[in-house]
Amino acid sequence: MTDENPFAPPTPRAAVPSANESRTPAADPTPVPAPPTAPEQVTEQLPPPAPPAGGPGEQPTTQLPAAGFLTTVAAPAFGGTGTGDPHAPQQARDLAPGETPHQASHGTDQHAPTQGTRSRRGKLGGRAVSAVVALGLLAGAGGGAAAYALLESQESARPADAALPKPAAGATQVERPEGSVAAIAAAALPSVVSIEVRAQQGVATGSGMILKADGYILTNNHVVAEAASGADVTVTFSDGHEQPAELVGATPDYDLAVIRVKEKGLEPLVLGDSDEVVVGDAVLAVGSPLGLEATVTTGIVSALHRPVKAGEAAEAAFIDAIQTDAAINPGNSGGPLVNSAGEVIGINSAIAQGPGTTAATGNIGLGFAIPSNQARHTAEQLIETGTATFPIIGVLLDPSYQGEGVQVSQEPQQGTPAVTPDGPADQAGLKPGDVILSIDGRPVSVADELIVAIRAKAPGDPVTLQVRSDGDEREVRVVLEERSSGQ
C-alpha cells in the first residue's frame, strides 16, 4: 500500500539512564549541578515496547507487455522475503542493547549524540531520577485534587446528562436482500482461501477458491509455481484454521493450478458460464490483496476478450481475459470474480500498469480475469491427469510485421519451420508469409490477439481464418491440434 504504514510502532518513551551508568564527561565541559538530596526510591525500568511484527513482502512477478499500450503484471501475491518490496511491513526483531524502538524501526539517527557527546540530562543518577519521579507523582496528585475540588464548587458548569441520541428501536433496518452485495459476499467468503508459499527465496501469498468438497482448490500458477520445486504451501480458511496443501497440477500456459488439502466437507463455489457475461455486469472480486484476507471489492465487467500476456517469455500465459474495474491488487491472484448470481465467472490473474511500469504497484481500475469456462476445462484436466493441454494451428508468427492482420513468418526461426509440416495450418494450405486477418470473424491486428483467440478454443475445435496470400483473400478452415504444457 502506498499510504504510510498503519502498523508502525508507537513513539517510544524517553530512555531513563541506569543508576550505574558511566559518568564520562560529555563533549560540553559545563558542569551540571547536583540535584537536591531526596529520599531514595527504587524505580523499576520497564523494557521498551518491541515493534509489532510485520508481514514480509515480495515484489510480484513482472509481466511482459500485452497488446496495445498497456503493460499487465501478475497480481500474485503479496509477500516474499529478500525481494525488496517497498510497501511491505518491516520485519520485527529484538532490540540491541541500548537501542530504542524508534531506532529499531527507523534506523540510526545521523544527528543523534554519540557516547562522547551524551546530553546533559543523561548525567542524572538513579537518586535524582527517583526524586523527579516522586515530585511528579506528588504534583499530579495535588493538581488532580485541586481540579476535583474546583469542579465540585461549580456544579452548574458540569453537564447533567451526556447521553447522545439513539435510534428508535426498529426504526432503522438495513435491507440486504438476496442478490445484494452483502448477501453475495456472505455466501462467497467461506469458499475463498488465502494461500502462502514458503520457498528459499522468500514468501509469496495469493488467493484461491474451493473447487470441490474433498479439498481441491483452484488458484493461479504464478501463486504456487515454487511448489513444483518443493516449497511449502499453506492454506488459510475463512474461519482462520490452516492446512498444508500439495500441488495437484499446474499449467503456465493458462496460469492456472490446482492444489489439495486433506479435508472433507468444504463448501465449493460454482463456476458459471463466462460466455454469458456481458459488458456492464456487476461483479465482486474476492481474495487477500496485500495479505488482507477476506477482502471484497465491487465493480463491473468493463470489457471482454482482452488479450493478456502474463509471465516470462518462456512460460507466458495467453489469456482471453475478462476486464473489470473492481479493485484488484497483488494478493488477489487466484481469487474468484463473482457475478450477481453468486457464480464465479473468472479467476483474477493480472492488473494493468501504466507505460514504463514493470512491477505491480496497485489497482488502477484495470484488472483481468481468466474466464470461468477456460478455468473449468483446465481444472478438470489438472485434477484428472496433473497436466493440461492447449490448442495450436502450427505456425510461427512474425512479431516485427507492421501491416494489417498478423503475418506468418517468412523464414524458419531458430531451426523451427514457419509452418509445421503436416500440422493443422499446413494441411489447410497456409504458406510462409501469408497474412491472417481474422479468426471466426474476429479481426486480429497483433500476434497476441490471434494466440489468445486460439487458446480460448479446445483441441479439435475447427476455426475459420480469413487469409491474404499474394494479394488474394480466402477463408481457410483449420482444425486445432493438441499440445501439452511443457512441450
Residues annotated catalytic, as ranges: 222, 255, 333
Using alpha carbons, list the distances in angstroms from residue 231 to 245, 250, 251.
Answer: 10, 14, 17
Residue type, 317: A
Q: Which three cell numbers stand for residue 18?
A: 541506569
Residue 458: exposed, middle, or buried by beta-carbon count in 10 A (0-12, 13-18, 19+)? Answer: middle
φ, ψ for residue 143 (rounded to 5)? -65, -40
Q: How many CB atoms lie within 10 A of CB 432?
A: 16
Residue 125: exposed, middle, or buried by beta-carbon count in 10 A (0-12, 13-18, 19+)? Answer: middle
Pick from 305, 211, 220: which is nearest to 254 by CA?
220
Question: At which residue does the C-alpha cell 428501536 appear?
Answer: 169
Task: Name the β-bridge partners of 299.
Answer: 283
Q: What's the CA gap between 402 and 397, in Å, rounded?
A: 12
The dihedral sign for the CA sequence 129, 131, 132, 133: positive
Quick check: 351 and 368 in contact, CB under 8 A? Answer: yes
Strand ranges inside 93-211, DSSP E: 192-199, 202-210
Give kind and range of the element (H or E) at residue 416. none
